[in-house]
Chain A
Amino acid sequence: MPSTTTNGIEPKPISRARLRLSGRGMWITFLLVPPMVVMALFVIYPILSALAYAFYDWQGLARGEFVGFANFKKVLFQEPFASTTWNAFKHNIYVFFALMIIQNGLGFILAYALWRDLPGARFHRIAVFLPVVLSTVIIGYVWKLFFHPIFGAVNQLLEAIGLGALATPWLGDADTALNALIFVNAWAWVGFPTLVFLAGLQRIPSEILDAARMETDSELTLIRKVVWPLIAPSATVCFVLLFIGSFNWFELPYIMVGLDGSPYGNTDVLGLYFYRTAFGNQSAGIQDFGMGSALAVLMFLFIAVFATAWTIYLRKREIEV
């Protein structure tokens, strides 16, 4: 070994490094393999099998013939399924934009107020986050009672303050049902973006803010030019998670308006439509795994593609600003 002898380096450290590396490698393998197996078994395999199911005709539980893209064509283009799909999809889009404004918008305002340490900030920091900890089942159930047309707190409150004319069966009225659900979702989850934005705000070094304050007196300019760009990573998290959540929306509408998206499809979203198509609505329909799987695959592709593209865009923006 001329190299080791000429420059006087002992071979031992190298071999020890190798040993350490292989030990480290084993450690990494040990940590990575179990989650990968779990992922493969419970995430990748179901997605792939749903993909496979979507290409077959199903007679109840028995897999029938291979039908190619027939199930996809059915849910996307064949009436009356197509209009149900687009109606549900339209509602998902509406929910997403409404929650972007109400939930994330309010979340940012609340975070900013908490960050500026207005009086009572410590109490509100907890109060705002509290509903996030509650189970969706409880939130849905309680708000369903609040919206009850006869005994509900909302209508009784309206009547008590002389606005009885505004009282309506909130969840049974085609004009208000979806908005009522969006309101409840925002009420329950506004604490999450608040917390994420607050964490982002607290990470801004005070020197930067002091310097900026010397330049401008306007709070708005400060927010627009300094604060908002600096909390871009927090915004990315809130936006992308809300996007995924809005297009996978299921629990809250399921609990509050049922599988059918009552009244007559006015609160129908893709999650509900998928569930009742694939698993059957005991009191109304039959199960069709093929169409259900086709819907699931389409939802997955849509969310995966758009969430990825948007994340890449938002990340790039983080760096640019």
Chain B
Amino acid sequence: MTTFTKALTLGLTAVGIAAPAMAQDLTFWSWRQEDRAVYEKLIEAFEAENPGINVEFEAFEASSYATILSTALAGESGPDLMMVRAYGAFEAVAGANYLMPLTEADVPGLADMTGPAIAAQTLRADGKIYGVPFASQTMLVIYNKDIYAQLGLEEPETWDELVANAKAIQDAGMFGFANGTATAWQNETIVSALASSTIGAEFFDEIVEGTTDFTDPRFVEGLSNLEEISAYFPKGFTGLDYASAQQLFASGMAGMFAGGSFEIANFRSQNPDLNLGVFAAPGESADDEKLVGVFFDGGYAANATTEHPEAAKKFLAYTATSEFGQVFANELGNITPIPGVTFDDELINEIGALNRSAVPYIMLTNFRYEEPSGSVLLQAEVQKMLAGESTPEDAAKAVTDGIATYYAPFQD
């Protein structure tokens, strides 16, 4: 044995002995208990490519996840990797310096994502990105294709056609829309799903810039349209809660449901025979751009104080690859912001196409950082308006006045 081979053998032995000690164990927290199998499969693929890094997936109940995560982070016993929410709820965690800032050097996939996706995981105070955005939700009209076919209806091109379709369904003894307003947040969803095209993309650009407010005639017209079409909601819809509305649609008693793309999985599991279609609610004329409302659900983030920052970054980089996105989209039925992903599911594919003409789900994306949040105001005011207790103008004014208490551009 030469000195060199001796040294090499010794060196390799030393590395062999030390290797287990160098294994990097990462914990990964999530609120998606139901997605465990898919995540474990994704993690396995990652571990195969990155020997020495072990990722352990742990899921918690969704409604208490925020409390569990924030308590753990505050007590310095948080995970290395975690799912975080977007916008205001994201800032509650990121703003407390619990998360590791990410750059395009760490996570190359971020460079290819759209502005709104990145904005959902950016802390406004320092402009840094703290999470890899993972799924978007789309507010649109979901309809029962069989009912449409049975009544000879077509996807509407104008607002009046939408109203006519709803009326035709109601005349046939069913509910035009399954929606109810008893569950407050449904009111915000309905506005985005039904009125985005009437309101128009320019309004949303201007509101983000701060050059207009919600008393703008375009927004008021959107609310008026909503008031008009609520005539085709079920009788007593002011007392109809979210779960009941879902059941009405899933059981085939209603022709349409104005809501989020997240409803589709639920409708399919409640009634696998349901033949679903989607469209963006149209504007006044067929030439108006057909818009859907979009928001991002959350992102994958790393703990600022993790013992293995490099391994954590590697994992986050992996969550922004098309390899990850493909599985995430097709096995979990999510719409991912990772470009170049193809969807096996026809309906998801269609929603992906509708997302190309989208406006933000404005109260969540821009006015849920301070109290009273735009969502709190809009939900209550629309509920009141649809109950016939106020007018679109009053509702728009109340929303603007509420936000103006802390938002300077609305104050003059």
Contact = CB atoms under 8 A, between A and B. Distances in A.
Interface size class of A (residues with CB under 8 A): 35 or more
A171 B242 CA distance: 13
Most chain A CB neighbours (cut-off 10 Å) among B70, B184, B241: B184
A172 B239 contact: yes
Contacts of A62: 95-97
B269 interface: no
A264 B395 CA distance: 12
Contacts of B185: 283-284
Contacts of A281: 376
A149 B95 contact: no
Contacts of A174: 387, 389
A170 interface: yes
B contact patch SS? helix
Given A80-B372, A148-B239, A169-B239, A286 B92 contact: yes
Contacts, number: 136
Residue of A167, A173, A260, A286 ringed by the most chain B CB atoms within 10 A: A286
Interface in B35-92: 63, 66-67, 70, 73-74, 88-89, 91-92
B239 A171 contact: yes
Contacts of A277: 371
A149 B373 contact: no
Nearest to B182: A172
A172 B387 contact: yes
A91 interface: no
A174 B371 CA distance: 24
B238 interface: yes
A293 interface: no
B183 interface: yes
A271 B246 CA distance: 28
B88 A172 contact: no
B92 A285 contact: no
Contact of B387 (A79, A258, A263): A263
Interface in B97-155: 97
Contact of A263 (B70, B238, B248, B369): B238
Given A284-B375, A285-B375, A260 B244 contact: no
Nearest to A256: B241
Given A59-B95, A61-B74, A285-B373, A149 B184 contact: no
Contacts of B92: 59-61, 280, 286-287
A260 B372 CA distance: 12
B91 A260 contact: no
Interface string A69-84: 0000000000111000
A136 interface: no
Contacts of B182: 169, 171-172, 257-258, 262-263
Interface string B351-391: 00000000000000000111111011001110110010100
A282 interface: yes
B240 A280 contact: no
Given A144-B241, A287-B92, A149 B375 contact: no
Contact of B383 (A60, A80, A171, A263): A263
The CB with the most chain B CB atoms within 10 A, among A148, A149, A279, A288, is that of: A149
B303 interface: no
Contacts of B248: 150
A173 B370 contact: no
A157 to B, nearest CB: 15
A275 interface: no
A169 B237 contact: yes
Nearest to A155: B236
B183 to A, nearest CB: 6
B181 interface: yes
B93 interface: yes
Contacts of B333: none
Contacts of B252: none
Given A59-B95, A80-B372, A284-B376, A258 B239 contact: no
A262 B383 contact: yes
A263 B238 CA distance: 8
A246 B244 CA distance: 29
A59 B239 contact: no
A284 B234 CA distance: 24
Given A172-B181, A264-B383, A61 B93 contact: yes
B184 A260 contact: yes
Contacts of A80: 372, 402, 405
Contacts of B235: 149-150
B362 to A, nearest CB: 14
B376 A285 contact: yes
Contacts of A60: 70, 91-93, 95-96
A311 interface: no
A173 B95 contact: no
A286 B181 contact: no
A149 B245 CA distance: 11
B92 to A, nearest CB: 3
Nearest to B64: A279
Contacts of A172: 180-182, 236-240, 387
A229 interface: no
Nearest to B378: A284
Contact of A169 (B66, B240, B384): B240
A170 B240 CA distance: 10
10 nearest CB pairs, A to B: A169-B239, A149-B236, A172-B239, A60-B92, A172-B238, A283-B185, A169-B236, A62-B96, A260-B184, A149-B239
8 contacts: A61-B70, A148-B244, A149-B237, A277-B371, A284-B188, A286-B89, A286-B371, A286-B373
Given A260-B376, A260-B380, A284-B188, 5 more contacts: A172-B181, A173-B239, A174-B387, A283-B185, A285-B375
